[in-house]
Structure 1
């Protein structure tokens, strides 16, 4: 197992890796809007989604892949009312690429954020 840490993003504060590579797959841990840092400038749901996907992109790039390589995505969203806005942002980020996905409504997330994303990607063939 190879540990992945994207430059410019804070290291995880807990006992986990930002992402790991194993057997040709990259597993991203759950990503909050500002990993390990509460940012008062990330207050709208859209801002939170943009922050999460921006971080995911950096982590994927550090592993040698991108959104086009994502095969599975699990999303935790506070409040089912946020579903349409999340779905529109997700569709823009992924474009025509449609990985397997689950969106799970939850009552709350760490630091009071409203979205957390976890992904699995397949490394491109060399």
Structure 2
């Protein structure tokens, strides 16, 4: 188990550590769409543990291993988030674990969002 917290609250904000697309057996597999959807599903479960939903997300940090995956990642991200459009940074980078194509962290607010 890595030396980190899955989420830490400070004031009205909840910071979620980066997540990868681990399946139920602890493996990472699948294409960029599958990994993006599963990673966000994991993050949304952490939000729910704190009484929050995807609409509470204000900032998303994304690491992709391949620039060629950006468009398919973005389409999946848009489908999963729906009408909600949090701020986002996306970086092309190596990831620590073999087979990981995307890592995503979140910042969410406990207060209502201004649009």
Scaled by the length of structure 2, the TM-score of the pair is: 0.88
Structure 2 residue runs of 5 or longer lacking an equivalent are none
Tell me how large the CA RMSD over aligned residues is: 1.6
User: Is 2:58 the counterpart of 1:68?
Assistant: no
User: Which deviations, in whole Å up to 9, do the C-alpha atoms of 1:4-42 show, x marking residues without a partner?
Assistant: xxxxxxxxx12210011110111000111118x6416x2
Q: Secondary structure at the match of 2:16?
A: strand
Unaligned 5+ segments in structure 1 are 1-12
Q: Check whether the contact 2:17–2:106 (CA below 8 A) recurs between aligned residues.
A: yes
Separation in 2, partners of 1:116, 1:48: 9
| Higher alpha-carbon deviation: 94-103 or 76-85 | 94-103
Q: What secondary structure, in the 3-state scheme, does the structure 2 residue paired with 1:33 have?
A: coil
SS of the residue 2:15 aligns to: strand
1:32 to 16, 20, 29: 20
**Greater RCO structure (CA 8 Å; 6+ sep):** 2
The match for 1:9 is: none
- Using the size of structure 1 for normalisation, the TM-score is 0.80
